[in-house]
Structure 1
Amino acid sequence: MADQELTWRGTVARWDRGLFDAVARRHWPGADRVLPRLGRAANHGVLWGGAAVAITVLGSPRARTAALRGIGSLALASATINTVGKWSVRRPRPVLDGVPLTRQPAVPPRTTSFPSGHSASAFAFAAGVALESPVWGAVLVPVAASVAFSRVYTGVHYPSDVVVGSALGVAAALAVRGLAREAKRARAVPGDERPAAGVPALPDGQGLTVVVNTASGTAGTAGLDVLRERLPKAEVVECAGEELEAELAAAADRAEVLGVCGGDGTVNAAATAALRAGVPLALFPGGTLNHFALDLGLGGTEDTCRAIAEGQAVRVSVGRITPTDGSGDGATRYFLNNFSIGAYPELLRHRLRWAPRIGGGPAAVLAAWRVLRAERPVRLTLAGRPRSVWLLFAGNGTYHGTGPTPRRRDGVGEGLLDLRLVHGGGRPGPRLMAAAFTGPLSRSPFHVATRRRGLRVEDVPPGTPLAYDGEYAKAPASLVLAALPDALAVYRPR
């Protein structure tokens, strides 16, 4: 057995050295200039940090999540390699005979050779991004492969060091994705919403119509195959864009239960249709963030299918926006997450205007620069008192966390509005930052927080935008915000 192991090690060592020497003898035009520089750029993760910043600035919300996953994967791979990998094998670096001096590093590495840390970091970042955003992954994987190859080309590592390091990087990315999924499931903890009586149980899905927004962030991977398997008689309608609201309204009118697959904006439209038709809602999370589904305690498609089959649902509260003067389009709107007037809707307005021309990422950066540089506080009347505000935020239920726009709730059945107000005056950037650091204080020089059943908002300047669940509209001159307790039945397993 020992002889076989020695033979195997000798074969790997000969293969390693032979391939290393072959690369050393080979000259590719331009490689002597490009590959050493690329390897140096990847020192200490600088190259990948820069790539993460670029993706964050230029990419969509899903791309930004991908960049964060990439950095997390790189951190895990680097920590594993440097604490366990390097010191468990202690393989000497290759002898540089035959490697041209122009390729060799000016300062030879001092750590052991096996496995390649650069290769692990490169493939950890690229795979972490690719698992969340295949488009960006297609851009990064060739760069990662070039960095890994540069380690052999410059004589720093044997080929097996690079192969194992790359494999460990991919393993780190898979581990981070698994941890992220577990964390997402852990956040989806059911609250104390009141059980909904009388909702139909649909063991095979007969009577359920599910409208899928194919343009939503993760609708394509939301587990609809599970839906079709568990509830084979359910009707599934795929659509996007302007036809979405009409399809939701039609489905709510003909179905016993309205189902929806999409992000928070799509879920808002479905909830509006369900409220108007008086039918319960079945939610299949298919967006990038899925705030409402997570705060409700839904972990995914399997949970919703089980609840529909067994007839288990809860009553949730809904926020309502009612115009009181006939201005604007006069439509009553609802929100499941939050409503706002001020800096955030202005940012959303600018981003939506510029995104078709320059792309979502650059539009978001340009919109933030415009808002923080040029916007003025909104002067309006709140509950009969004149106010100047940078931001008015109303959450459907109490949010936790610091700042004027916190993002987590323990449940969605409270029936109260979580009101946050950032006072006007000064510049918007410092004010909003100061409000974020003051936390959920009842009163401060920057920030007011309270909870109420409703709020009257009057004297809104013409053209002022409002945002609700990430959607954008023009605000009427006066409106009433109200919390509607137990307004909507939503399927969720007990």
Structure 2
Amino acid sequence: MSTGRRTAAVVALAAPLLALAAGFETAVRHFGSFVLFVLAVTVVTLAAWYALTRRGLLRVLAVLAAAAGLLTVVLLGLSLFITQAAMLVVFAVAGRYALGPRKSRAEPAEPARHGVLLINPRSGDGAAERAGLAAAAARRGIEVVTLGPGDDLAALAEKAVSDGADVLGMAGGDGSQALVAATAIRHGVAYVCVPAGTRNHFALDLGLDRTDVAGALDAFTDGAERLVDLGRVNDRVFVNNASLGVYAEVVRSQGYRRAKFRTWGRLLPDLLGPTAPPPDLVFDGPDGRPVSGVTLVLVSNNPYDLSRVGRAGGRPRLDTGRLGIVAARGARPAGEWTASAFEVNSGADVPVGLDGEALLLTPPLRFASLPGALRVRVPRNLAPLATGAALTRRDLNALVRVASGAP
């Protein structure tokens, strides 16, 4: 173990302790200001909730109260906030160096004999065209199939495989990625994800560079292959997550694609206001007891990590064979756990946001993890994944081992 890594581990472990010490020192020396700061944070939280879930004069008053509370928080706690944020950054950066990059499980793969790339030209506001993706694929000897108006993406993927494709790629958003990935696992062919959508969460969690769209094509000609999980609900496959409740209702509403923020503001009072009935969703919690009355259920293909500094909400692994499950009642969490399978019941068809696409599915909704179902190819020269350390027992124990010189 190098001296530099051991030193970085010590620095990383000391940073959160210094942050706690700074908070304690502020609370003791400036007790009155600290109490006022806590009250201001409470006001901001409550006022923001009212601003989201109420209309008319009450929403206006809530916005004003939130603004006043936020100003108070900044004036009283700016220095403390800067200190805490700085310590978290030190923890993440030093911890990243101490723990080193995550080793890739990908194995070198032979170049595709007949690679086919499907392109959704409308995804990401034309990201594929801006990157010159079709021409870049042609230079690599990859067959290009561009999705036209009215085309069935799943049918095009099936035809590509029936015509002899041994590596199937998709340039588009996560919803399109899921459709083509389902075809790849049905026929056992390798799959290439090209980040030409809007957010490209699946590509990011694979370690791809979302700013280098054409560079992802190297997976066809000079790639490495690994197995990753997929999620399934009834007969639909997803690469990221399925959302039930409030988010699903908003996504399926008219006008959402054209004006997302305005749609949220218009619908949230009806969905989360004081007279709004909760969605009719019933399921067993982690303790086996029935849960109902929730407003949100999120089921993800592998659990998200909300504790990591830098990219909270990413999935550090896509091969655990587990679903991540999060439930909430309004702004209050109602549970967070993992499982290999999960079932949701309802008295009517259930709106579902599946990888950002609006669907209406018939219950019961049976979720399952599909461990190692997808043969994913990524560029062989892809840099090892480097992620900041998280404030979890696993990473803290790892840092203690590094600091002590243990393997």
Alpha-carbon deviation of 1:457? 2.1
Matches within 5 A, 1:278-357: 278-299=188-209, 300-322=212-234, 332-350=235-253, 353-355=254-256
Shift of 1:248: 2.4
Identity of aligned residues (%): 31
Distance 1:489 1:292, change over 3 A: same
Secondary structure at the aligned position of 2:219 is classed as: helix
1:415 and 1:453 in contact (8 A); partners too:
yes
Structure 2 match to 1:47:
none
Q: Look up the SS of the partner of 2:295 in the other structure.
A: strand
CA contact (8 A) 2:322 2:340 kept: yes
* Cα gap change, 1:451 to 1:367, in 2 (>3 Å): same
Per-residue deviation at 1:276? 2.1
AA at the equivalent of 1:417: L
Q: For 1:418-449, what per-residue CA distance to the aligned partner results, in whole angstroms no more than 9, with x for missing partners?
A: 111114xxxxxxx22xx3xxxxxxxxxx3311
Match for 2:365: what amino acid?
Answer: L
Paired with 2:186 and 2:157, the residues of 1 have a C-alpha distance of 11
Larger of the two Rg values belongs to structure? 1
Superposed displacement of residue 392, structure 1: 1.1
Measured in 2, the distance between the counterparts of 1:466 and 1:191 equals 33
Cα 1:491–1:365 shift into 2, 3 Å: same
Q: Secondary structure at the match of 2:247?
A: helix
1:105 aligned partner: none
Matched AA of 1:366: R
1:379-428 CA-partner distances (Å, limit 9, x unpaired): 333237432211111111121116xxx731112222211111114xxxxx
Output the CA distance in 2 between the equivalents of 1:240 and 1:415: 35
Does the alignment pair 1:395 with 2:300? yes
Contact 2:134 2:144 in 1 (8 A): no
Q: Which residue of 2 aligns with 1:133?
A: none
Using the alignment, how far apart are the partners of 2:231 and 2:350 within structure 1? 20
1:461 aligned to which of 337, 344, 347: 347
Give the number of the structure with larger relative contact order, counting CA–CA contacts within 8 Å between residues 6 or more apart: 2
Contact 2:111 2:221 in 1 (8 A): yes
Q: 1:344 touches 1:467 (CA, 8 Å); kept in 2? A: yes
CA 212–470 in structure 1, closer or farther in 2 if over 3 Å, else same: same
Q: Is the 1:391–1:421 contact (alpha carbons within 8 Å) kept by the matching residues of 2?
A: yes
- What is the CA-CA distance between 1:362 and the residue it aligns to? 3.7
1:272 to 182, 190, 193: 182
Q: TM-score, normalised by structure 1?
A: 0.49
Q: Matches of 1:390 and 1:247 in 2, distance apart? A: 37
> What is the 5 A alignment of 1:81-96?
none
**TM-superposed deviation, 1:242:** 3.8
For 2:373 and 2:365, how far apart are their aligned partners in 1? 20
Deviation at 1:462, TM superposition (A): 0.8
Counterpart contact for 1:274–1:281, Cα < 8 Å: yes
Q: Which residue of 2 aligns with 1:259?
A: 169
Q: Which residue of 1 aligns with 2:116?
A: 209
Q: How far 1:193 sits from its partner (Å)?
A: 6.0
What SS does the aligned partner of 1:399 have?
Answer: coil
3-state DSSP class of the match of 1:275? helix
The CA deviation string for residues 107-148 of structure 1, in whole angstroms up to 9 with x for no partner, is xxxxxxxxxxxxxxxxxxxxxxxxxxxxxxxxxxxxxxxxxx
* Structure 1 residue aligned with 2:393: none
Matched position secondary structure for 2:291? strand
Question: Which residue type is aligned with residue 272 of structure 1?
Answer: A
Residue of structure 2 in register with 1:372 after alignment: 272
CA distance in 2: counterparts of 1:191 and 1:240, whole angstroms: 39
Q: Normalising by the residue count of structure 2, what TM-score does the alignment of the two structures yield?
A: 0.59
Match runs of 1:181-200 below 5 Å: 194-195=105-106, 200=110
**1:220 and 1:372 mapped to 2: Cα distance?**
40
Task: Name the SS for the 2:158 alignment partner.
Answer: helix
Does 1:228 find its partner at 2:119? no
By how many angstroms is 1:361 displaced?
5.2
Contact 1:193 1:411 in 2 (8 A): no
CA offsets per residue over residues 146-199 of structure 1, 9 Å max, x none? xxxxxxxxxxxxxxxxxxxxxxxxxxxxxxxxxxxxxxxx9xx986564368x5
Q: Secondary structure at the match of 1:269?
A: helix
**Residues of 2 paired with 1:286 and 1:190: CA distance?**
26
Q: Conserved in 2, the CA contact under 8 Å of 1:193 and 1:412?
A: no
Alignment check: 8 A CA contact 2:128 2:213 kept: no
Aligned mates of 1:473, 1:381 — CA distance in 2 = 19
Asked whether 1:238 is paired with 2:146, we answer: yes
Question: Aligned ranges for residues 353-432 of structure 1 at < 5 Å?
Answer: 353-355=254-256, 362-373=262-273, 375-383=276-284, 385-388=289-292, 389-401=294-306, 407-423=313-329, 431-432=330-331
Q: Decide whether the 8 Å contact of 2:175 with 2:238 is kept in 1.
A: no
Displacement after TM superposition at 1:461 (Å): 2.4
Q: Secondary structure at the match of 1:409?
A: coil
User: Which AA in structure 1 matches 2:356?
Assistant: G
CA deviation vs aligned residue, 1:221-246 (integer Å, no higher than 9, x gap): 24516733651x21111114541332
The equivalent residue for 1:452 is: 339
| Structure 2 stretches lacking a partner, 5+ long | 1-95, 381-407
- 1:371 partner letter: L
Distance 1:451 1:192 in 2: 24
Question: Where do 5+ consecutive residues of structure 1 fail to align?
Answer: 1-185, 323-331, 424-430, 436-445
Deviation at 1:215, TM superposition (A): 0.9
Which has the larger share of helix?
1
In the TM superposition, what is the alpha-carbon distance from 1:266 to its structure 2 partner?
A: 1.3
Give the equivalent residue in structure 2 for 1:144: none
1:158 maps to: none
For the structure 1 residues 397 and 359, does the alpha-carbon distance in structure 2 shift closer, same or farther, using more than 3 Å as the test?
A: closer
